[in-house]
Structure 1
Amino acid sequence: MTRSTVDKALQDDPFGNQAEVKYKKLGCGFAGLQGIYYNGTICFHRRKVIYGMPPNCTTLVKPRRTKGSRSPSWEELQVKLGNLKELVESARSIISGDMLAVPIVDLSSRIEVAKEVSACSYEARTSWGREIGWVYGSMSEDILTGQRIHAAGWKSAALNTNPPAFLGSAPTGGPTSLTQYKRWATGLFEILMSRNNPILLSICKRLQFRQCLAYLVLDVWPLRAPFELCYSLLGPYRLLANHSFLPKLAPGGTTKGCSGSSHPPPGSSHSSPCYLKTVGLSETVFEVTRKDKSSCDGNGSTDEADKGRFTFDSSPVFIPPAALAILKIVAIAVGAWRVVAGAVEDKRGGPGVGEFVCCSWLVLCFWPFVTGLVGRGSYGIPWSVKLKAGLLVAAFVNFCR
């Protein structure tokens, strides 16, 4: 497997789709084990890997014992790969290692053959999607397929070239970005709750234990949602309830900061669909993520003024982050008013500087939603979303009392 850099048009990855930190830190950790995980389209696979074969294996199915040949028969491969003669013969030569078994032909003559293989109906009654090719059963089919490949005993390698060998596209707006996160969270949770769980692959197959733990770091991402939500609510709750949970600043002392993540967490709006699907209460529909492109005027120039700005719509996925953004602002305002009014006394154990730093940092993390509260048009959060978020904040403030 290889990995290269995605489109660098948007600096600092404002939507979190490029996953630069994940690749540079977590990906390099994988590279020291069985290899970096398969994530996305920027990858090369050996054909033996696609056929579900383990390393150093020369047969996809049990070969016939005729004339000492180890090459599988056409009939056996047909059951696995389908009944297209060109594909079966080509696969047979790759599997057996006899590259000259199929004569070299003009690639342009294989276009119609490729169209037939790529049809949705071709894989019916074959092993595609289960034992061969990309594995079905998860919206994060790339991670799931990578786990299968590593569980078969293969190793992968990361390759970063300068300049990048490939450039990809990513969502460049709020609605499409959150749809992408929801799909990722749903897919990873499906993997975690299926027979393709890394723990089972480590026990029953050839996935190394440390590689299993590394995959679990990815797969448990949706399960972090309730804990991250509580973590984000802790600072505002303490400010509104007039209590402290961090050490007070003193001469020569320090206080440990508490912050949320600038990468949008799976959150309740992202993880709820996959939870409901797992318990059989809902069906998850695959939502295609639109990859926006830069627009040009009649003179061919590109307008860069609004590049990287969040866009919003009335989708319910914006209610939780909008509510958190409003709550941080309200908590800071209430805490500051108490300080100015002299309502906080040390003997009462009121909040200190740490709580203000915590909430202020989270305001910066949710800054796109803060600006969306006062934005206009597609760059502003719709009033229907702000109203629902405000009701949630009002209920939380009343709870803090």
Structure 2
Amino acid sequence: MENSGEDLRALPLHTCHADPLIRFYRFYLTFYTIAILTLFYHHILQLLSSTTVVFFCLSISLFFSNVILAVNWFSQQPFFWCPVHRCTYPERLTNKELPGLDVFICTADPYKEPPMGVVNTALSVMGYDYPVEKLSVYLSDDGGSDLTRIALSEALEFAKHWLPFCRQNNVDKRSPEAYFRSNNNYRSEHVKILYQEMKEKVENHIIKKSILKTNSAEHPSVVQVLLKTDRDLDVSGHPLPNVIYVSREKNRIFPHHFKAGALNALLRVSSLMTNAPFILTLDCDMISNDPITPRRAMCFHLDEAMAEKLAFVQFPQRFQVNKSDLYGTEFRRLHTNMLGFDGMKSPIYIGTNTFFRRRSLMSNMPVVPVPEFANEVVGATYEVNGRTKWGSTVGFRYGSLVEDFFTGYLLHCEGWESVFCNPKRAAFVGDFPITLDSVLRQGKRLSVGLTDVAFSKYCPITFGLKHCSPLLRLAYFHYSFGSIPSIPIVFYGILPQIAVVHQIQMFPNTRDPWFLLYFFMFVVSYARDLADFVLAGETAGKWWNDQRMWLVRCVTCWPVGILESFLKKMGSFSSSLSTVGFHVTSKVTQYDSDERYKLGIFDFGTASEKDSPSPYIVSLAVFATMSLVGFTVGTARALKNGKTGDFTLPLLLCGFVVVNSYPIYKAMVFRKDNGRIPWKSVQLAFFITAFIFSISSCVQL
């Protein structure tokens, strides 16, 4: 892709244009705001006309629930105020112009993050269409495992054959696993055999357990240069990129700050060894899917008009999901919202697929490249020996379980800007948990971290006033308080069901004109959400699963995350009650779980009767059962009393939840496979449901 021409450099490296639907978005904002204000007017009328304590309590609960939902909706509107789309022209960059690039890959546990996945990620970035003398790959092994290091060493021997093959055949998928999964031809047969041999060697180490398992909480530091550009060549005589294995020292006495601490260790090591001006951070399961991705990022970083303030270029996360994205793991709303963040020049940092300008993370840190000191800067005591700026004003920031969100937020508060680059061909593709319980456990960690930020001195309402616009702070407010809507959803999952069973009217009947307002707001809100998905190129099936998973998170992991965040803030008395921690999400999949996922069948991941019931699955079963009872009993009693018109809205609400809960009912009663909900959890859910309805009867609801 070498270009001589100065003519090309006279052309822009990227373009940006506003979303053509901006006018519609602003019209919708005005229209729906009027509807919300009208709804609150009706709530006030209801409160003033309350004749019983029960009706007043129901009305005030719905009022505050709708206030929270309205604030959440309003905080989402900055994303649609000025969304933008960008296009890059990487072919206009010459190799001579391209700066040095250090790639950081993070892994923590070889038994949860399989070494073959890690080495495929490393091989995919080693194969970038980028000047090899300007490319260095750092692997952070926070588990300090010999298994990971040996797997990487085996992979680097294979790389001497793989990288020339990619160049000679113009391979797009430079992860060998991904390439051989989708390509079978005679030209690749020899390389495929070499890959299988390498893979067998690595997997044999795991099966035979021939390598001593390292204590991931305590181990010495290791910095090892496995490949060096001016020393190592591939089979075609072409230089190989630098590859450095790093395992920082860990000691139980000193805090290690999880992934943020690992990234800061890589920052220090790389500054002493290669000190490239730009850094790519990658999760170990996020393979590169496009070899020209670094060039796309440099289209922004090398733009003189942006360079002074541009901290990072963020690429979206794409996952190998099934055709309907069963667990809503692609987070399409985040992709849509990133276009709005981009209009404010501040897309959030999502922890991976990010090209940083080193200066934005280490602007005040003088660096003298001395590789001999590499082991010292990854020592367990390095940050506590008077070097307290690390994690506060230097490097990746500490103080939250969502260190990625927190780091990007603080950089924006310091005046830095960012860019969202979303090319048609996915730049990176990764794996995601394929059991519901694992997905919800990850959701709880995000909920805890975001809630920590929301209720701290860094709250977006009051922090960052100097550099962040009101719209940007409102957008960050939306994410930091993102778990709070679970509170009204829990109310809506309990109160209408109880009320309709006891035939207490809490919504307008079909003869009341106010009925149309409630019905209209529900339908329009969901129609708009569906339209956003379709316009983003997704299917109605993916939208349905995404909205269902939003409801699932609202009644499971998000409330638990909020509770744990507050328990942590309460201090030593409650610290033993809180189980907050950074847990590595397992990327290991069982064959039967993988098959169920491909077929679009929910895997609740807790089928063993020996295990304690998962609180998330029990909670989910309780809400599903309550809505089923509310719909069936409420309908029967309304028909018997001739009051179907009085209870149409709560019955529609219960029916909507019942339709969403079909996979849950199936897993509770009919399924016999290992992905079902255990009978122990079903019994507990039935007991809790019966208890709630019994209590409601005692207070004469």
2:565 aligned to 255, 269, 274, which one?
Answer: 274
SS at match of 2:349: coil
1:50 aligned to 351, 356, 361, which one?
Answer: 361
In structure 2, distance between residues paired with 1:305 and 1:202: 45
CA deviation string 1:305-350 (max 9, x = no partner): 545523232222222211001111111110232245x23437xx84
User: Given the superposition, is the C-alpha separation of residues 114 and 344 from structure 1 closer, same or farther in structure 2, using an over 3 Å criterion?
Assistant: farther
In structure 1, distance between residues paired with 2:473 and 2:345: 10
Structure holding more strand per residue: 2
CA deviation string 1:243-297 (max 9, x = no partner): 333333359984634599521225433322222112121242222211344749x
Tell me by how many angstroms 1:42 deviates: 1.7
1:246 aligned to 507, 521, 535, which one?
Answer: 507
CA deviation string 1:150-178 (max 9, x = no partner): 01111111111121111122221111111
Structure 2 counterparts to residues 1-400 of structure 1, below 5 A? 1-24=313-336, 26-51=337-362, 53=363, 60=364, 77=366, 88-90=367-369, 121-125=381-385, 126=387, 127-203=389-465, 205-249=466-510, 254=516, 256-257=518-519, 262=548, 263=550, 264-265=553-554, 266-280=557-571, 281-282=574-575, 283=578, 284-293=580-589, 295=591, 305-307=598-600, 309-313=602-606, 314-340=613-639, 342-345=640-643, 350-352=646-648, 354-374=649-669, 375-400=671-696
In structure 1, distance between residues paired with 2:451 and 2:487: 14
Tell me by how many angstroms 1:208 deviates: 2.5
User: Given the superposition, is the C-alpha separation of residues 175 and 117 from structure 1 closer, same or farther in structure 2, using an over 3 Å criterion?
Assistant: farther
User: Given the superposition, is the C-alpha separation of residues 237 and 39 from structure 1 closer, same or farther in structure 2, using an over 3 Å criterion?
Assistant: same
Question: Percent same amino acid at aligned positions?
Answer: 24
SS at match of 1:202: coil
User: Given the superposition, is the C-alpha separation of residues 251 and 394 from structure 1 closer, same or farther in structure 2, using an over 3 Å criterion?
Assistant: closer
User: Given the superposition, is the C-alpha separation of residues 360 and 270 from structure 1 closer, same or farther in structure 2, using an over 3 Å criterion?
Assistant: farther
Tell me by how many angstroms 1:211 deviates: 1.0
Partner of 1:85: none
In structure 2, distance between residues paired with 1:334 and 1:390: 16
In structure 2, distance between residues paired with 1:235 and 1:333: 13
* Partner AA of 1:211 in structure 2: L
User: Given the superposition, is the C-alpha separation of residues 391 and 7 from structure 1 closer, same or farther in structure 2, using an over 3 Å criterion?
Assistant: same
* Partner AA of 1:190 in structure 2: D
In structure 1, distance between residues paired with 2:590 and 2:683: 32
SS at match of 2:443: helix
* Greater alpha carbon shift after TM alignment, 123-132 vs 163-172: 123-132
In structure 2, distance between residues paired with 1:269 and 1:199: 24
SS at match of 1:44: strand
* Partner AA of 1:332 in structure 2: F
Partner of 1:74: none
Tell me by how many angstroms 1:19 deviates: 0.9
In structure 1, distance between residues paired with 2:488 and 2:586: 30
User: Given the superposition, is the C-alpha separation of residues 273 and 128 from structure 1 closer, same or farther in structure 2, using an over 3 Å criterion?
Assistant: same
Tell me by how many angstroms 1:183 deviates: 0.2
User: Given the superposition, is the C-alpha separation of residues 366 and 149 from structure 1 closer, same or farther in structure 2, using an over 3 Å criterion?
Assistant: farther
User: Given the superposition, is the C-alpha separation of residues 124 and 175 from structure 1 closer, same or farther in structure 2, using an over 3 Å criterion?
Assistant: same
Tell me by how many angstroms 1:231 deviates: 2.1
Preserved CA contact (<8 Å) 1:172 1:292: no
In structure 2, distance between residues paired with 1:289 and 1:191: 22
In structure 1, distance between residues paired with 2:595 and 2:668: 27
Tell me by how many angstroms 1:27 deviates: 1.9
In structure 1, distance between residues paired with 2:596 and 2:656: 31
Preserved CA contact (<8 Å) 1:38 1:146: yes
Partner of 2:54: none
In structure 1, distance between residues paired with 2:373 and 2:433: 33
User: Given the superposition, is the C-alpha separation of residues 365 and 40 from structure 1 closer, same or farther in structure 2, using an over 3 Å criterion?
Assistant: farther
Spell out structure 1 runs of 4+ moving beyond 6 A. 112-116, 301-304
SS at match of 1:322: helix
Preserved CA contact (<8 Å) 1:2 1:43: yes
Preserved CA contact (<8 Å) 1:238 1:351: no
SS at match of 2:616: helix
In structure 1, distance between residues paired with 2:676 and 2:596: 19
RMSD: 3.1
**Stretches of structure 1 lacking an aligned partner (at least 5 in a row):** 54-59, 62-76, 78-87, 91-101, 103-109
Preserved CA contact (<8 Å) 1:239 1:355: yes
In structure 1, distance between residues paired with 2:565 and 2:334: 22
CA deviation string 1:76-112 (max 9, x = no partner): x3xxxxxxxxxx225xxxxxxxxxxx9xxxxxxx7x9
User: Given the superposition, is the C-alpha separation of residues 175 and 47 from structure 1 closer, same or farther in structure 2, using an over 3 Å criterion?
Assistant: same
User: Given the superposition, is the C-alpha separation of residues 272 and 118 from structure 1 closer, same or farther in structure 2, using an over 3 Å criterion?
Assistant: same
In structure 1, distance between residues paired with 2:333 and 2:626: 28
* Partner AA of 1:27 in structure 2: M
Tell me by how many angstroms 1:387 deviates: 2.2
In structure 2, distance between residues paired with 1:6 and 1:114: 34
Tell me by how many angstroms 1:242 deviates: 1.0
Preserved CA contact (<8 Å) 2:604 2:675: yes
CA deviation string 1:174-233 (max 9, x = no partner): 111111111001001111222322234323x42222211110101112333322211222
Preserved CA contact (<8 Å) 1:319 1:385: yes
Preserved CA contact (<8 Å) 1:144 1:196: no
